[in-house]
Amino acid sequence: MEIIIDSLGALPQAASTLTGTHNSNRIFAFYGSMGAGKTTFIKAICEYLGAEDLVSSPTFTLVNEYRTSSGEPLFHIDFYRIRNTTELFDFGIEEYLTGEYYCFIEWPELAEEILPPGTVKVKISVEENERRRVTVTSATPFAP
C-alpha cells in the first residue's frame, strides 16, 4: 500500500488510512532518513487515535507514553541512540512489543531482529516539492 502526503493538511487522512487498513495491528515500525517526517506522521496518528498529550520525539528518553481521551496508552519508541539490543531488553522492550496497545517505533532498522510478527513497516520517502511517499508492508516473521 502507498499513501502520498502532499502537505501537512493531508496528514489526518493519511493517519486514518494507515490505522484503518491495519486496524488489527498494534506495532508500527517507521523507516526513513533524518527529517523524512517519521515523528510528524506519528504525531498525526496519535492525534487521530485521540492522544491528549503533546506528542514529541523520544530520541533522548527512548519511550514516550501518551494517553488517549479514553485512557488508552500509546507508546512512541525511538531506537536512534541505542548501541545494541541488550539496551532495549534492559528497559523492558518486550512489554511494549507484546502488549495490546499501539506502539510506534522510529529507527527500527537498528533492532529489526526483535520486531514481532505482524509488525507493520512504514517507509517514508521525501520526493519533489517536499511530498512524502509512504510505503506500507508487513514485517517478515521473527523467529527467536
Residue 85 or 58, more confident: 85
pLDDT band at 3 (very low <50, low <70, confident <90, very high): very high
Instruction: Read off the pLDDT of residues 67-81 as tens digits, 9 standing for 90 and up.
Output: 999 999 999 999 888
pLDDT score recorded for residue 28: 95
Is residue 57 scored above 50 in pLDDT? yes
Percentage of the residues of the chain whose pLDDT score is greater than 70: 93
Instruction: Read off the pLDDT of residues 23-34 as tens digits, 9 standing for 90 and up.
Output: 788 999 999 999
Distance in angstroms (rounded) separating the CA atoms of residues 122 and 105? 10
| Cβ–Cβ under 8 Å, residues 123 and 107 | no
pLDDT band at 144 (very low <50, low <70, confident <90, very high): very low
Q: Which string of b and e fits 23-41 if b means at least 16 CB within 10 Å?
A: eebbbbbbbbeeebbbbbb
Architecture of the 2-138 domain: 3-Layer(aba) Sandwich (3.40)
Residues in the chain, overall count: 144
Q: Average pLDDT, stretch 1-12?
A: 93
Predicted structure pTM score:
0.88
Q: How far is CA 144 from the centre of its chain?
A: 22
Across the chain, how many H-helices and E-strands are there? 4, 7
Query: Residue ranges per domain, the chain?
Result: 2-138
Burial environment of residue 144 by CB neighbours within 10 A (0 to 12, 13 to 18, 19 or more):
exposed
Joined grid coordinates for residue 137? 508492508
